[in-house]
Amino acid sequence: MANKAKLEALLTLINTSARDAIALYEKYGDVPTIDQMEPHPLDDEVDQVALKSAIRTFEGASAQISTTLAPPAHTAINLVQVYDHACVRVAARENISDILLNYPKATRGCYNEVDMDVFANNRLSLILLNANPVRHMILLHVEPVARGAAVFYETLKDPKIAYSYEPTVAPVMYAINKEGTEGTFFDWMARNDGQRESYHTSMRALNVIMGSLAVLTHFPFEKYSTVVDVGGGIGAFSLPLAKTHKNVKIIIHDLPEALVQARGIWARECPEALAENRVQFEDLNFFEQVPVKGKDIYYLRNIIHDWPDHESALILSNLRKALGPNSRVLIHDYVLRQLSRKQAAAEASNLGVTSAPEPLLPNYGVGSMRAYEQDMTMWLVHNAKERTLQDCFALATAAGLKLEKVWDLAEACVLEYSAA
Ligand SMILES: C[S@@+](CC[C@H](N)C(=O)[O-])C[C@H]1O[C@@H](n2cnc3c(N)ncnc32)[C@H](O)[C@@H]1O
């Protein structure tokens, strides 16, 4: 494609994807405006796959045009002169959005300036309300993760740990260890109740950030009667599952301290599942123990990405021992897309993974930004990573799992396996 034709094609993609997103909002009424003070009904929809697909193309094409047309120095400085995290930290810690709820008259779109120096909440700033789990995910990123990012270079230059995949020397732990703390991020949280509770609450934010609950409408949970949520935390996935699929009995496996918090939340938010004996909480250390055996579905959301290959292999081999002949394993994580168009096309035709329309970068470029940023987050926090389809395939095959299907949910994927 000639250079100018590429830009024209990107402009068309911007136009069509934005119109697709507008049409989705219009199914619920009006399109949102940035300065509206209440959420839009589509914001809370469980299945956001169509919206996420449209936005992925829109973001990818917009950034690709901008990077093509802007002077390179302009783009490069934009990448590093990013202080949003420092500013959002102040707003989140000081509860500015909550304060503005009581004083409805108070840039980059977060907060409206309704008069000179008078700001009000908007659709974006409401995310920072104290009760919103996304605020907890933001605090996780702007506090411990940011400390790891600040020493990332030093960890690469320190000959004792530069080549180590040990979770105990991940950049965040390297920064924290200077205060005399040892162990993994999870060991550190076991001793810090406030940090741990905020972390588990933040997992509920994944439902909206990654649109993860789309699995509830795409995967046929109605055909199964038992689901084991391995490393299920407080039940960010299982709690909505218990509300939408009353046919399913759920077992949540996690560390004991996570399950204490889980029991309290379920008693408040889904007492009927407790009363009807539809949920059980069972302590499990997935490195040392085998999950409850012979159940229908074993669901692992954002678990394998927390661990380097050695530890992930251990989790999967324990899991494999639990499987019956008809059991299925669902691994729900980002899958990093290939930059090679040939490989992306092969994955699209063999496995049904969508590939980006030309001339978008085959991995959607900035449209897939959260996957690549989260890959970095996993490195900083755990010395771990997000994986490509080949990486996932290699790990699972070595553990005796057979890939049955890829459920591409536009942002993350669910890889469905059986016992090989
Ligand atoms: C990223 S969170 C994901 C939680 C949940 N699957 C979700 O998506 O909301 C990782 C979970 O793994 C749990 N975990 C960490 N180490 C574990 C271990 N050794 N055994 C069992 N669970 C563990 C943590 O307590 C936490 O709940």
Residue 109 has what pLDDT? 60
Q: Is residue 35 part of a domain?
A: yes
229 and 377 part of one domain: yes
Same-domain pairing of 227 and 372: yes
Question: How high is the pLDDT of residue 354?
Answer: 79
Distance separating alpha carbons of residues 109 and 125, to the nearest angstrom: 8
How much is the pLDDT for 105? Answer: 61
pLDDT in tens, the chain (420 residues): 799 999 999 999 999 999 999 999 999 989 998 888 788 999 889 999 999 999 999 999 999 999 999 988 888 888 888 888 998 899 899 999 988 887 766 545 678 877 877 888 888 888 899 999 999 999 999 999 999 999 999 999 999 999 999 999 999 999 998 767 789 999 999 999 999 999 999 999 999 999 999 999 999 999 999 999 999 999 999 999 999 999 999 999 999 999 999 999 999 999 999 999 999 999 999 999 999 999 999 999 999 999 999 999 999 999 999 999 999 999 999 999 888 888 878 877 777 787 899 999 999 999 999 999 999 999 999 999 999 999 999 999 999 999 999 999 998 999 999 999
Query: Are 274 and 415 within one domain?
Result: yes
Number of separate domains in the chain: 2
Looking at the structure, do residues 66 and 215 belong to the same domain, yes or no?
Answer: no
Per the CB < 8 A criterion, the answer to whether 405 and 205 are in contact is no
- Report residue 418 as tokens: 């059986």
258 CA: nearest ligand 1 atom? 25
Residue 197 within a domain: no
Determine which residue's CA is closest to atom 10 belonging to ligand 1.
303
Give 233's DSSP letter. T
Q: CA Rg, the chain, in Å?
A: 22
Cα 175 from Cα 184, distance rounded (Å): 12
Which of 17, 51, 78 lies at the terminal end of a domain, its last residue?
A: 78
Distance 381 CA to ligand 1 centre (A): 14
* 103 is a domain residue: no
Identify whether 352 is part of a domain: yes
| 166 assigned to some structural domain | no
Q: Does residue 115 form part of some domain?
A: no
Report the distance separating Cα 114 and Cα 122, nearest Å. Answer: 11
Q: Ligand 1: which of 136, 168, 203 to mutate, most ligand atoms within 8 Å of CB? A: 203
**176 domain residue, yes or no:** no
CATH number at residue 220: 3.40.50.150
Domain end call among 78, 103, 136: 78
Structural domain range at position 2: 1-78
Nearest atom (ligand 1) to Cα of 235 = 9
Q: Which of 78, 94, 121 is the last residue of a domain?
A: 78
Task: Report the distance separating Cα 146 and Cα 202, nearest Å.
Answer: 16
